[in-house]
Amino acid sequence: MNAEQQYIEFYHAAAETIKSRSCAVLNAVRDDAFNQFLHMGFPTQKVEHYKYTDVSTAFAPNYGITLTPQLSTLNPRPSTYIYNIKDAPIDVTPYYHRVANPADAITALNTALVHEALLIHVPKGERAENPILVDHWLRGTAATMMNRRILVVMEKDSDATIIINDHAADRQHYLTTQVIEVYCHDGARLDLYEIEETTPLCNRFSNVYIHEDRDCTVKHNSLTLFNGQTRNHCEVRLHGEHSEVTLNGCAIGSGSQHIDNNTLIRHETSQCTSTELYKYVVDDQSVGAFAGKILVEKEAQKTTSQETNANLCASKEARMYTQPMLEIYADDVKCAHGSTVGVMDEAALFYMRQRGIPEPEARTLLKNAFMGQVIDQIKYEPLRQKLYVKVEKRFRGELDKCEDCRLCK
């Protein structure tokens, strides 16, 4: 049986059950999404933006697909900004599955199988005073597949910080697909953080789609601290003039972990700005991959864009693949990209050891300093300080379980 077949058979058997436990807006596009997946199948590594991840192998095991409610009881007060999509205070039809790329196989499979979705809606002119926190917990007694969906609608001149955490409460095998759609109306400002802190038994495929109208500012930060196999894709459309987007990423790999970040920024109109900074530290036999593409359309004059990827291989067996790309059809732009792959600075290690610092400690200090540039970009200070501690613990081999609650102590 090929990897797709079990999901095709499952959908044929469970489609009516999924629909009965879901809501109209999700069901309206479900069958079309399944037919799209049926037509495409899982992408092979011959597909350019999946070349560094073997999708079929990750989806091949026989995971149990959960159809039980996954969202905790949500307080529907407007001040919380968070809703089960079936209780949405606005018509979400113009947004749901409109920002996402329907031609992506993982997105299509997620759309076909998801039976619940989270809506984050910030009304016109409102500023969320506190960060909006979304915690995803993986917990079960058998290998399980979970499909998550989040829709973010930022109305005109709204402002919010959203923090999405991934945790695993046990050592089961998990497969997660996640699709996040973000629609920013004119003048909206959003800081979006994704933090993955699971186990080596977890496979995660996440697609983030961001649409920006005029005068928007979006910052997306993706931080992979602990995982098994991760493939993150972030796609941004700068659709209105004077909009800005910043994509930052921090990835730490060890053991046999696999971390693949893929980005696409589409400059569709003039006088927009984009900035990317992704940093990796890969150790042992881990594999890192980064592919980032800046697409500047003909109408996108006065574009400014900078893409940077810096990587540190901390062992001889670690592997890093990097592919920064510029595709430019406008002639009045300022665009640059660069990538580096290096090893531990032996001169710095020697200098520190000469002053009495043990080699393991010296290596940890150098790794921390290397990642500091990404952590420094985090605006929300409590999160920034927390991540400084977590990153250091990760490099010391102490971040093997969550310490923030009683579930996994």
Quick check: is 8 in a domain?
Answer: yes
pLDDT digits over 383-397, tens only? 999 999 999 999 998
Mean pLDDT (the chain) is 93
Quick check: is 367 in a domain?
Answer: no
Quick check: is 107 in a domain?
Answer: yes
> pLDDT-derived band of residue 76, with 50, 70 and 90 as boundaries?
low
pLDDT at residue 17, rounded to an integer: 95
Report the number of distinct structural domains present in the chain: 1
For residues 74 and 402, give the distance between their C-alpha atoms in angstroms, rounded to a whole number: 24
Q: Which has the higher per-residue pLDDT, 74 or 190?
A: 190
pLDDT at residue 71, rounded to an integer: 76
Quick check: is 384 in a domain?
Answer: no
Quick check: is 144 in a domain?
Answer: yes
Quick check: is 252 in a domain?
Answer: yes
pLDDT at residue 399, rounded to an integer: 78
Rounded to 10 degrees, what is the CA torsion of 322, 220, 96, 127? -170
Q: Which residues pair with 162 in a beta bridge?
A: 132, 192
Q: Which has the higher per-residue pLDDT, 399 or 205?
A: 205
- Residue 13 identity: A
Quick check: is 359 in a domain?
Answer: no
Backbone angles phi, psi at 390, to 5 degrees: -65, -40
pLDDT digits over 265-298, tens only? 999 999 999 999 999 999 999 999 999 999 999 9
**What is the DSSP annotation of 24-75?**
HHHHTTHHHHHHHHHHH-S--TTSGGGTT--HHHHH-S-PEEP-S--SPPPP
Give me the count of residues in the chain.
Answer: 409
pLDDT at residue 401, rounded to an integer: 53
For residues 338 and 361, give the distance between their C-alpha atoms in angstroms, rounded to a whole number: 30
For residues 325 and 79, give the distance between their C-alpha atoms in angstroms, rounded to a whole number: 42
pLDDT digits over 333-390, tens only? 999 999 999 998 889 888 898 889 998 999 999 999 999 999 999 999 999 999 999 9
100 SS3 class: coil
For residues 24 and 264, give the distance between their C-alpha atoms in angstroms, rounded to a whole number: 31
For residues 242 and 93, give the distance between their C-alpha atoms in angstroms, rounded to a whole number: 27
Quick check: is 135 in a domain?
Answer: yes
pLDDT digits over 301-334, tens only? 999 999 999 999 999 999 999 999 999 999 999 9
* Domain of residue 278, residue span: 3-346
